[in-house]
Structure 1
Amino acid sequence: MKTKTTLIISLLIIALVFVSGWLVYSQMPGPVITHWNAQGQPDGYSSKTTAMVLMPLMMLFTSALLFGVPLIDPLRKNVESFRGIYNQTILVVNGFLLVVHVVSLAWNMGWRININVVMLVAVGLMLFLLGRLMSHARRNYFFGIRTPWTLSSDLVWEKTHRFGGKVFQVACGALLLGALIPDAAFAVIMLVVLGSALVPVVYSYVVWRQIEQQVGQ
């Protein structure tokens, strides 16, 4: 996917978030629920105006950051080699934030959606897509599993990201199964996300050590 196309779609998603909020502004209670606890019960509130502008601003900042970092990456040429995949990642992130916004609006309008189930499924699908995208990434300083060992070797980077992509996809399955026990959503998300982040880091060191030993023989 071309960068210009990704930028246009991202701006359209952000505009959709902004417009949808203001279209239902008059139907929203005051204050608006903006946070839920581990049991899926509301425990945080904001004014209607703050709630309506917070997510679009967050998405604008996140998108600007994701579009901007490749421009200052010393390995920019590597990023350009998988730029289509990187651009898809930007849309995945914006899509996730769009889901969060829509669910928040729906809850405040009286739709008692199970927030925990939605978050488990949404985070799971995002991890699945990020895992697929990650397996195509080449060495850079901003995107992917960046450890001293992956950044020091293209081979370690490639092996780690192929492995990490599979780990993320398995994590997706774990989160989808976790949707069957929504009361434990927070614990499941934390355990799975931390595990899927830590396992590839350890793997990158193991691969690096194996390569070093082979070179030393």
Structure 2
Amino acid sequence: MQYRRQRTAALLFVLAGVAASAVVYPDLPREMATHWNASGDVDGTMSRTVGAFVLPAITALVVGVMLVAPSIDPRKDHYEAFRGVYEGFVAGTAGFLTYVHAITLAWNLGYEIPIGQALTPALAVLLYACGVLLERAEPNWFVGIRTPWTLSDDDVWRETNERGALAFKLAAVLALGGLLLPAYAIVFVLVPTLLAAGYTVAYSFLAYRRKEA
């Protein structure tokens, strides 16, 4: 079966999250910290029963949706051109969410990890992976820079997604600044990501207008 390794990796990440929660469950507090603000302070909690397994459940749901999406896409034939990269991205997303889950468990077991610094490299890798996926994605309804203008013209799609690939790779590099200035880790991740997203939307509009002129 094609892409068995990527799908197996995604499944193993889900199972690893469930297994980790099951092993440490008795040692977790009755009320688990599950959300932190930009300063790294806890500002959200859940009961142990929910908090211990909610992220593995979300990971399984995300993986399932991402694997099913190509089969229901009206342009599903276009996925074959980048299916390997797409399947790898699915596994990478599962790995990222499992990493976040591991940090959450560690914190609740008494390890006061600097959340911003711990998440920064993982977010940078995820942003870079988005860039790789964008530069390979062919026109479709689920993956890539999907605006009214890219979905209306395949040439605008390809041009915009190539630009988007560079923008998100640059955002990934800039995100690493959070390792040097942990107090501003969220800024180094969020601002370049928003700028990359805004740039690609604007570019798609301008590219479409230019072609139609």
Q: CA deviation at 1:185?
A: 2.9
Q: Which residue is equivalent to 1:109?
A: 109
Residues 43-82 of structure 1: matches in 2 within 5 Å? 43-82=43-82
Residues 126-165 of structure 1: matches in 2 within 5 Å? 126-165=126-165
Q: Which residue is equivalent to 2:125?
A: 125
Asked if the contact 1:130/1:165 (under 8 Å) is kept, the reply is yes
- Deviation per CA, 1:179-210, whole angstroms, max 9, x where unpaired? 32222333443322211111111111222222
Q: Which residue is equivalent to 2:197?
A: 197
Separation of aligned partners in 2, 1:186 and 1:168? 16
SS at structure 2 position matched to 1:179: helix
Q: CA deviation at 1:111?
A: 1.6
**TM-score, scaled to structure 1:** 0.92
Separation of aligned partners in 1, 2:123 and 2:2? 25
Q: CA deviation at 1:116?
A: 0.8
Q: Which residue is equivalent to 2:182?
A: 182
Q: Which amino acid aligns with 1:41?
A: D
User: How many aligned residue pairs are there?
Assistant: 213
Q: CA deviation at 1:95?
A: 1.2
Separation of aligned partners in 2, 1:173 and 1:2? 32
Separation of aligned partners in 1, 2:187 and 2:59? 26
Give ranges in structure 1 of 5+ residues lacking alignment. Answer: none
Give ranges in structure 2 of 5+ residues lacking alignment. Answer: none
CA RMSD of aligned residues (A): 1.6
Q: Which amino acid aligns with 1:36?
A: W
Q: Which amino acid aligns with 2:58?
A: M
Asked if the contact 1:2/1:87 (under 8 Å) is kept, the reply is no
Separation of aligned partners in 2, 1:121 and 1:8? 24
Separation of aligned partners in 2, 1:182 and 1:112? 15
Separation of aligned partners in 1, 2:210 and 2:75? 25
Separation of aligned partners in 1, 2:200 and 2:54? 33
State which drifts further: 201-210 or 134-143.
201-210
Q: Which residue is equivalent to 1:8?
A: 8
* Identical columns (%): 34
